[in-house]
Amino acid sequence: MPFVSSFETRIQVVISLMAQRLYFILGVLVLLIVSSFSQNPTPDSFDWTLRSRIDLIPSTEAESWDASRTAFIVCDMWDYHHSVNAVRRLTEFAPRLNAVLAEARSRGATIIHAPSDCMPFYDSHLARQRALDAPPAKNAPTNIAHWCHRIPEEEQAVYPIDQSNGGEDDDLQEHAQWSAYLETINRNPGTPWQRQTKMISIDSYRDYICAEGDVTWNVLEANNITHVVLTGVHLNMCVLGRPFGLRQMKRSGKTVALMRDMTDVMYEPNSWPYVSHFSGLDLVVEHIEHHICPTVTSDQVIGGHPFRFRNDDRPTVAMSGLFARDQRVFAQQDLRRQFHLQWLGKSSTASETADSDVLLLNDQSQLPAAVIKAFVDAGKPIIAARVTRAWAPSFGISNSTHVLAIEAPLKCDIDAAQHPMLQGIKRITVNSFTTGELHGSTHPLINHHEHGTIAWTTVRPDSGISIALPSFLGSRSCQQLTLNALAWATGQSVAKSKTNSVNQDWQTHKLAEGLAITSRLDEIIWMRCLVKLSDQLAKDIQSLNVPNDSSLDAFINGTALKDRNSEGQLVIPAGTLTSTALNVLALRLTKVQNIVPVLQALQLDGPWQFRSGDDPDWANFPIPPQFGAATDYIFEFE
């Protein structure tokens, strides 16, 4: 029996070895399958709620994008920046952006990392090599390798902010300390970026690294990409204008969207329109939604709520019916200094206003009754500039209310002791208001000896507050009252709520209009525009035709034009004009006169910027003009 026992033992050993091999093979197969799925996940989709705008009013549309034909481009999420506040904000939203990209990648989307000026750092990176290995696209658009400063849809638009000073919103002392720190780590304080932030993961085996427009286009075409989502910074400069940015993608035929809560702007509140930094971001987002492409938010990919910066503590004002130009200027400039604005229209729903803190109406509002009722049911404050009969029950006034519009505006003296929201107002000028029989828990704010109470507050049955005000159309004192009421209703400081009546910055006007306005000022006037030229025109243009007058000085890209040719035209030195960037043409006038500057044979009769005062630095932009340029004073010639 020893032989049998030995044979059985050998059989058991063979079976055991075979089982181990089988388990090993099965394990390898499992790893290969898992690896295959991780490298090539099952195609999925993105179900977007795309937000666009018709004028100021937002509208939404549901749309599903095939993930395998969608690319996410991450713009300039650098490791360092010259603005310390920009670094802080980037660091704040980068983790959420990384989560968005991880989820998008798992659904099969293409991820393109585009940290401009940083390609040398990634020379040996697999994701960089993968981008360079993409075959040249046969359908590469013209100028895909260049910045795009404007698309036709923007030509009649007024660009919403002035970013020509670079937009740094740092505290000066902090900025100096930050610059000194950058020097200690051997970084140039002006351009300290060398790579993408480590907070954004790069998948070496699936992602792409490229910041060149033509290479990016090759990657998109090689992957059959038809839809593009832009993320990163900074929205008003690089995200909009880079060769891979929103404008270029839109102009080149891609279906493009901005992820509006995964971005930031370079804007400082001491520049026009003198609003908060975060309101500056809102204004640029709204410009994009109106003129360029729709926007989405990160929660549509990873759930939760849209991202909001921790320092953005602005109360949200839902607004409806503010259609007159004066009302819009008041809202866009004065209210945005301390509030986040949400524009509502006749198609708005109650769910859109769930996070709003106060509702501001005028009698032109077409807001559905259900939205107003939602505010009442939630006990939130409502402010109305002129109360309609439909709203009367919520404002403690009888249904016989009517609106008076008078030819000669009333002037009412104000007793600021009557209510905190009357602070800083001594006399108010009123041209339209609501009258009627008041009842309930009403408190008069402003009384007129002939027309009675024309502004009041009331405590509604739901314990919420309603505030009835005169129209603020055309009256700075009524606008100040409205601003005070919003501050008081949202728990803000009324004393700090001031309308902005001083405008000391660059203003954009059509040439004749701007000259007419500035001719009334007994000051030195500067005017400037931006000129985009083709390679050939930049070489050929040699003169600027402006009046031969000692009261006029001309500059191109900061270079003073002093010599004149035999025809009396200013000579442009060779090499002064460029085709690779925007050219800054600035004129200094000690005596305003009717002029239409002509570059060789190219008339510059269109929008210019104007400013009173005198500063030699205004002969050029403080930063490269492609970063500081607005869209509404650019002349383009091919």
Structure confidence at residue 13 (pLDDT): 47
pLDDT at 2 over 60: no
Residue 500 in any domain: the answer is no
pLDDT at 470 over 90: no
Q: For residues 162 and 197, state if they share a domain.
A: yes
pLDDT at 36 over 70: no
What confidence tier does 209 reach under pLDDT thresholds 50, 70, 90? very high
Euclidean distance between CA atoms 68 and 210, whole angstroms:
19
Comparison of pLDDT for 448 and 500, the residue scoring more: 448
What confidence tier does 306 reach under pLDDT thresholds 50, 70, 90? very high
How far the first Cα of the chain sits from its last, in Å, is: 101
Residue 179 in any domain: the answer is yes
Euclidean distance between CA atoms 437 and 347, whole angstroms:
32
Q: For residues 330 and 277, state if they share a domain.
A: no
What confidence tier does 413 reach under pLDDT thresholds 50, 70, 90? confident
Q: For residues 296 and 320, state if they share a domain.
A: no
Alpha helices in 393-437 (DSSP H): none
pLDDT in tens, 582-612: 999 999 999 988 899 999 989 999 999 999 9
Comparison of pLDDT for 214 and 25, the residue scoring more: 214
Structure confidence at residue 7 (pLDDT): 41
What residues have CB less than 8 Å from 424, skipping those under 6 apart?
Answer: 416, 480, 484, 494, 495, 498
pTM: 0.88
Euclidean distance between CA atoms 619 and 81, whole angstroms:
26
Structure confidence at residue 1 (pLDDT): 41
pLDDT in tens, 319-374: 998 667 777 888 888 899 999 999 998 889 998 888 999 999 987 888 998 999 99
CATH number at residue 609: 2.60.120
Decide which of 277, 302, 327 is a domain's last residue.
Answer: 302
pLDDT in tens, 608-630: 999 999 999 999 998 899 898 88
Structure confidence at residue 330 (pLDDT): 85
Average pLDDT of span 454-467 = 92
pLDDT at 549 over 90: no
Residue 497 in any domain: the answer is no
CATH number at residue 463: 3.40.50.880
Structure confidence at residue 30 (pLDDT): 43
Q: For residues 333 and 477, state if they share a domain.
A: yes
pLDDT at 396 over 60: yes
Q: What is the domain extent for residue 551?
A: 507-637
Euclidean distance between CA atoms 361 and 340, whole angstroms:
16
Cα 501–chain centre separation: 24
What residues have CB less than 8 Å from 1, skipping those under 6 apart?
Answer: none
Decide which of 252, 270, 302 is a domain's last residue.
Answer: 302
Q: What is the 3-state secondary structure (H, E, C) of 127-173?
A: HHHHHHHCCCCCCCCCCCCCCCCCCHHHCCCCCCCCCCCCCCCCCHH
Residue 311 in any domain: the answer is no
Q: For residues 194 and 77, state if they share a domain.
A: yes
pLDDT in tens, 156-198: 899 999 999 999 999 999 999 999 999 999 999 999 999 999 9
Residue 562 in any domain: the answer is yes
Q: For residues 237 and 330, state if they share a domain.
A: no
Average pLDDT of span 93-120 = 98
Average pLDDT of span 279-301 = 98
Q: How buried is 282 (Cβ within 10 angstroms: 0-12 exposed, 13-18 middle, 19+ buried)?
A: buried
Structure confidence at residue 637 (pLDDT): 93
Euclidean distance between CA atoms 405 and 389, whole angstroms:
16
Q: For residues 261 and 369, state if they share a domain.
A: no
Q: Which of 293, 190, 149, 252 is closest to 637 using CA atoms?
A: 149
Residue 496 in any domain: the answer is no
The amino acid that residue 330 corresponds to is F
Q: Which of 163-167, 192-196, 430-434, 489-493 has the lowest mean pLDDT?
A: 430-434
Residue 15 in any domain: the answer is yes
Q: Which of 244, 292, 9, 275 is closest to 131 using CA atoms?
A: 244
Average pLDDT of span 29-58 = 69
76: its two tokens? 């300039």
Residue 53 in any domain: the answer is no
Structure confidence at residue 520 (pLDDT): 84
Decide which of 489, 521, 542 is a domain's last residue.
Answer: 489
Average pLDDT of span 26-39 = 46
Euclidean distance between CA atoms 17 and 3, whole angstroms:
21
Q: For residues 217 and 343, state if they share a domain.
A: no
Residue 141, CB half-sphere, CA atoms under 13 Å: how many?
Answer: 21
Q: For residues 13 and 77, state if they share a domain.
A: no
Q: For residues 260 and 290, state if they share a domain.
A: yes
Structure confidence at residue 20 (pLDDT): 56
Q: For residues 479 and 519, state if they share a domain.
A: no
Give, in order, the Cα–Cα distances in Å from 247 to each of 42, 127, 167, 632.
31, 25, 21, 15
Q: For residues 14 and 141, state if they share a domain.
A: no
Average pLDDT of span 562-590 = 95
Q: Contact 394/401 with Cβ under 8 angstroms?
A: no
Residue 59, SS3 per DSSP? strand
Euclidean distance between CA atoms 427 and 477, whole angstroms:
7
For β-strands 110-114 and 316-320, DSSP reports them as unpaired
Supply the mean pLDDT for the chain: 89
pLDDT at 436 over 50: yes
Tally of structural domains, the chain: 4
Give, in order, the Cα–Cα distances in Å from 28 to each of 16, 21, 243, 366, 535.
18, 10, 44, 66, 59
pLDDT in tens, 221-267: 999 999 999 999 999 999 999 999 999 999 999 999 999 999 999 99
pLDDT at 14 over 50: no
For β-strands 441-448 and 452-459, DSSP reports them as antiparallel
Average pLDDT of span 55-78 = 96
Q: Which residues of 138-148 are buried (b: 16+ CB within 10 A; e: fewer)?
A: eeebeebebbb
